[in-house]
Amino acid sequence: MSGDFKPFQFRSPRIVFKRNAWKDIPNICEEFGKRGLLITGAHLKEKSSTYPGLMAEFEAKKLAVRESIRKGSEPTVGEVELVTIAVRQQKYDWVLGIGGGSTIDLAKAVAGLARNEGSAAMYQEGKDLVNDGIPFIAVPTTAGTGSELTNNAVLINEQKRVKLSIRGDKMMARVAVFDPVLTVSMTPEVTAHTGLDALTQAIESYVSKASNPFTDLLAERAIGIIWDWLYKAWKDGSDIDAREQMLFGNLLSALSFSNAKLGAVHGFAHPIGAIHAIHHGLICGVLLPHVMKFNLAGNIPEVTRKFAVIGAMMKKDAAYANLSDGDLANIAIENIFTLLSMMGLPTRLSGLGLKKADIPAIVNDTKGTSLLNNPRDTTKELLTQLLTDAL
């Protein structure tokens, strides 16, 4: 034994993946008790044909479900505080979050804080969750953020004008329900943004310093699936096979990054998102090939090799079989630029409205585990150069 096999541990909620799994949601909730709070977006309640059916199922089972309907914007500390106070008073048995990453993050934070003392802002500053949260069931309606599987919730702190996580395994979902039928109503724009988030999360966790042999398997498969299906799902949102594959790719990506962590793209994405109201996934998608270029230039053999694996997956063609790792790695990067263009998205930060004058503030606020786990070590100067090159 060489002894260099990387040890790891792995965390995950219970996972249910099935077409029309929405019909099973009341049964799953009932495992935790008769009274619950459903947090969802106005879009789902007003537009989804499954919503009335779901509420009818709850009623048939005689479960008391209170609805909390929100607009789809990213959750703030203030919003979490308000809902948490109500949940503490009502002593619900469970919290069900159905929606995109923002809604699931809100529901997760509320469920996690409900049986712990103190405000959301205190937990953003690093206070530990002492008690298990209220059982939380997460149901994503997008295929990309991975929030249904992670142990953190990203909240905007309005007073400090920053985005910070509250974090802890005690707030992780007990069950995550994946139903491709619920993702069909995503617009092409949301499909592209969330899909790029999933792709970025898969690639960043694949080359993360915290990656391990288990997460590598998940990340490789996630990248292959998302690469094969994202454009198809964007082009025809009613293609249920494409929706199913994207949801599966997102699941694998989320299992990978929630264990192996992320990199500089996500390090930058939060400060950029705090300054500009741009969708998180779009920021990630545009930054991804630029950060890959930066990481490739670090000449780290394992990173070059992994990028080459990605390039080879994208080009399933014997003609590419004899290319060097460096060439294949560059093919991977170029292909991501091409994908952005094919979906009508910008390939540079200036296309998102960012200016040179924004860079110092972004670099200043870029920190955290994402940066620590980026495969190439960074300095403020290198980060500034990277963003300048990506403008």
Chain positions contacting Fe ion, by CB under 5 A: 197
> Is the CB of 74 or the CB of 197 nearer to Fe ion?
197
Q: Smallest distance from the beta carbon of 265 to Fe ion, in angstroms?
A: 8
Judge contact between 182 and 139, C-beta under 8 A: yes
- Contacts of 9 by beta carbon, 8 Å cutoff, 6+ apart: 259
> Is the CB of 179 or the CB of 197 nearer to Fe ion?
197
> Is the CB of 79 or the CB of 197 nearer to Fe ion?
197
> Is the CB of 197 or the CB of 325 nearer to Fe ion?
197
Q: Smallest distance from the beta carbon of 243 to Fe ion, in angstroms?
A: 19
> Is the CB of 148 or the CB of 197 nearer to Fe ion?
197
Judge contact between 194 and 249, C-beta under 8 A: no
Structure tokens at 128: 């530990």
Q: Smallest distance from the beta carbon of 228 to Fe ion, in angstroms?
A: 20
What is d(CA 99, CA 107) in angstroms, rounded to the nearest whole number? 10
Q: Smallest distance from the beta carbon of 283 to Fe ion, in angstroms?
A: 9
By beta carbon distance, the residue nearest Fe ion is 197
What is d(CA 127, CA 196) in angstroms, rounded to the nearest whole number? 32
Q: Smallest distance from the beta carbon of 116 to Fe ion, in angstroms?
A: 25
Q: Smallest distance from the beta carbon of 281 to Fe ion, in angstroms?
A: 7
Structure tokens at 365: 């606020």
Residue from 358, 191, 132, 156 nearest 274 by CA: 156
> Is the CB of 197 or the CB of 365 nearer to Fe ion?
197
